[in-house]
Amino acid sequence: MSITDVLIVGAGPTGLALAIWLTKLGVAVRIIDKAATLATTTRALAVQARTLELYAQIGRLGDAVAARSAHLTGPNLWVGGTRRARLDFADVAVGMTAYPYIAILPQDEHEQLLVDRLCSLGVVVERGTRLESFVEDVEAASVRAVLQKGGGEEEEEEEEEEICEARYVAGCDGAHSDVRRIMGTGFPGDTYEQVFYVADIEATGPAMNGELHLCVDSHDFLGVIPLAGKQCARLIGIVTPPPPPSESSPASSSSSSSASTSPTPPHASTFEHVRGRAVDELKLQNIHVNWFTTYRAHHRVANRFRQGRALLLGDAAHIHSPAGGQGMNTGIGDAVNLAWKMAAVLDGRAPDSLLDTYEQERGRFARTLVDTTDRAFGFMTKRGWLAGWIRSAFAAYVMPVLFCFRAVRRRAFCGLSQFVLDYAGSALTGADAAAAAAAGGTVRAGERVPWVKIGGGGGGGGQDNHESLQHIEWQLHVYGTAREQLIVWCKANGMRLTVFEWVAEHASAGFTKDAAYLLRPDTYIALVDAEAEPRNIEQYFSERQICPSSK
């Protein structure tokens, strides 16, 4: 029997991120995946700016992902075969983050980066291993899991059973989660009516220029997302109704039959069957299909994210439409949120109840995200002449006008990047001191700490106030002058204190001069104390029974 702190089931981006963060925090982990090998298809593509900021905590992993990615700053809108507008948010994004774009990196390459980083920390993914069952031992404060190794379709050896004892089990094993099944947790929601297709192609045409293109038609929808390599892109579209069957029609198209996958509806076996009018309206030519599949999208949220010592993350906890490229990023956010809490509990620096805040914070966000993406997805894909006419008119005439306003561009980027996510109302979010508002600050507890470039213009590189966030720990920021009592308290209690000289950029970002900002290990603001009094910091931790430092 093996013993570990956390058994992670599923080695996609969510499980890998959880393993990396926990290992960095000194937690012993095992990570298993039923697949014998790393997937080689592109699947998810978008890596949002907030994810890259979180990755920056792990030896500048954010920079490594960004260096291998295509960078998008907004879509080109096409209606009726005409490019109507480019909705660019670059001008507002540059001053908000070191990563002012949406990074496009195929999931297989993304996962390989995470696997390599995890290996460098001494942890190897145990592939070809699946979770058979687990039971919680309340007296031993642990979980006993039964694992099955080998025995897959391509495995010649017999299955080998192993018992693994862990303090916690983390289900990162996708929409068909074994962990969720064993927990007996419901997964309510629904399936979208439309069938969608995904195709990785090589082609020519004006939409193959390395930018994002969205074709909004009264009867169709198509997204063109650039991939690495000359004239390569991913197409995401709606399966159009097939023509009436004919006995003389050919069985399939030779250009794409080798790339098709098995889980496709019988009426959509090849790309040629589903290309729709939008492909022609975007003027794509000389199309060669490298990979093709169809699928139905779902929107579901688990009834519980935690049951005793078992927790759900990523697609095991919530799935939603692909609108906005949020799914994978949300799972990674789940992992970062949970990791520091697990580490604190396992180290005896916080009560087990701290883990309840994981569901409180991430469950609320997941339900909000499902609702938001559901409405956006419904608008983009709804059938019917009236819905199509409204959609086309909105894209052709309203969106270009709206994007003339800086506030709209800023809101669009903040939404896509997940900067709007906050934990206001969480048990871990302290009440803002009234003096903070009186002093003119707008940054509030529960929010992501705003990024500020110190000196020079926006964009990456150089010094910024996120540098200290590479340390996965509780810490304090002061913008202006730190009180002597606070400096002494931080030294005595082993808490990192970073003091920034007050500049106009800090005021523009919404900081209050000389206030103390208590930051959680996942870089969200726990408390804003305009008085910068050590007693307020101590009260925050004592009320929650958290010891911020192992010192």
User: Own/partner pairs for 186-189, CB < 8 Å, 24+ apart?
Assistant: 186/302, 186/303, 187/300, 187/301, 187/302, 187/303, 188/300, 188/301, 188/303, 189/298, 189/299, 189/300, 189/301, 189/319, 189/370
User: Is residue 210 domain-shared with residue 259, that is, in the same domain?
Assistant: yes
User: Is residue 233 domain-shared with residue 152, that is, in the same domain?
Assistant: no
Residue 466, pLDDT above cutoff 80: yes
User: Is residue 239 domain-shared with residue 336, that is, in the same domain?
Assistant: no
Q: Is residue 493 part of a domain?
A: yes
Residue 484: predicted pLDDT: 97
- Per cent of the chain over pLDDT 70 is 86
Query: How far out from the chain centre does Cα 69 lie?
Result: 16
Does residue 450 or residue 258 have the better pLDDT?
A: 450
User: Is residue 478 domain-shared with residue 494, that is, in the same domain?
Assistant: yes
- The residue whose two tokens read 């064993």 is 182
Q: Is residue 86 part of a domain?
A: no
Nearest to 516 by CA among 451, 421, 455, 435: 435
Residue 46 near residue 328, CB atoms below 8 Å: yes
Choose the final residue of a domain: 257, 274, 298: 298
Chain segment 143-187, per-residue pLDDT in tens: 999 999 986 555 556 789 999 999 999 999 999 999 999 999 999
User: Is residue 125 domain-shared with residue 246, that is, in the same domain?
Assistant: no
User: Is residue 166 domain-shared with residue 204, that is, in the same domain?
Assistant: no
From the CB of residue 493, how many other CB atoms can be counted at a distance below 10 Å? 16
Rounded to the nearest integer, the mean pLDDT of the chain is 87
Residue 257: predicted pLDDT: 31
Q: For the ranges 33-42, 411-420, 492-501, which has the lowest average pLDDT? A: 33-42
CATH of the domain at 537: 3.40.30.120
Q: Where are the alpha helices (DSSP H) in 242-323?
A: 276-281
CATH of the domain at 14: 3.50.50.60
Q: Is residue 353 part of a domain?
A: yes
**Torsion angle, alpha carbons of 441, 445, 447, 451, to 10:** 50
Can you tell me the distance from the alpha carbon of 48 to that of 62, in angstroms, rounded to the nearest whole number?
Answer: 10
Can you tell me the distance from the alpha carbon of 148 to that of 33, in angstroms, rounded to the nearest whole number?
Answer: 11
**Domains of the chain: total:** 3
Residue 280: predicted pLDDT: 82
For the chain, state the CA radius of gyration: 25
Residue 202: predicted pLDDT: 93
Tokens representing 351? Answer: 């009560």
Nearest to 351 by CA among 547, 520, 525: 547
Residue 133, pLDDT above cutoff 60: yes
**Torsion angle, alpha carbons of 312, 317, 322, 328, to 10:** -10
Nearest to 65 by CA among 84, 77, 50, 78: 50
CATH of the domain at 228: 3.30.9
H or E segment to which residue 167 belongs: strand 160-171
Cα separation values, 99 from 31, 67, 71, 89, Å: 30, 11, 9, 12
What residue numbers bound the domain in which 290 lies? 191-298
- pLDDT band for position 82 (50/70/90)? confident
The number of residues in the chain equals 551
Can you tell me the distance from the alpha carbon of 47 to that of 417, in angstroms, rounded to the nearest whole number?
Answer: 9
Nearest to 324 by CA among 180, 183, 420, 209: 420
Choose the final residue of a domain: 356, 371, 386: 371
The predicted model gives 498-520 an average pLDDT of 95
User: Is residue 39 domain-shared with residue 61, that is, in the same domain?
Assistant: yes
H or E segment to which residue 286 belongs: strand 285-301
User: Is residue 231 domain-shared with residue 289, that is, in the same domain?
Assistant: yes
- pLDDT band for position 251 (50/70/90)? very low
Chain segment 285-339, per-residue pLDDT in tens: 899 999 898 888 888 999 999 999 999 999 999 998 777 788 899 999 999 999 9
User: Is residue 65 domain-shared with residue 164, that is, in the same domain?
Assistant: yes
Q: Give the single-character DSSP code of 241.
A: P
Angle, helices 107-120/13-24, rounded to nearest 10 degrees: 20
Q: Is residue 466 part of a domain?
A: yes
Q: Is residue 133 part of a domain?
A: yes
Q: Is residue 427 part of a domain?
A: no
Q: Which residues, in sequence order, are CB contacts of 290 under 8 Å at separation 6+? A: 200, 201, 202, 259
Q: Is residue 390 part of a domain?
A: no
- pLDDT band for position 260 (50/70/90)? very low
Residue 161: predicted pLDDT: 93
From the CB of residue 528, how many other CB atoms can be counted at a distance below 10 Å? 26
Choose the final residue of a domain: 270, 298, 326: 298
Q: What are the start-end ranges of the E strands in 348-454? A: none
Residue 384, pLDDT above cutoff 70: no
User: Is residue 28 domain-shared with residue 129, that is, in the same domain?
Assistant: yes
Residue 116: predicted pLDDT: 97
Q: Is residue 419 part of a domain?
A: no
- pLDDT band for position 264 (50/70/90)? very low
User: Is residue 46 domain-shared with residue 158, that is, in the same domain?
Assistant: yes
User: Is residue 202 domain-shared with residue 340, that is, in the same domain?
Assistant: no
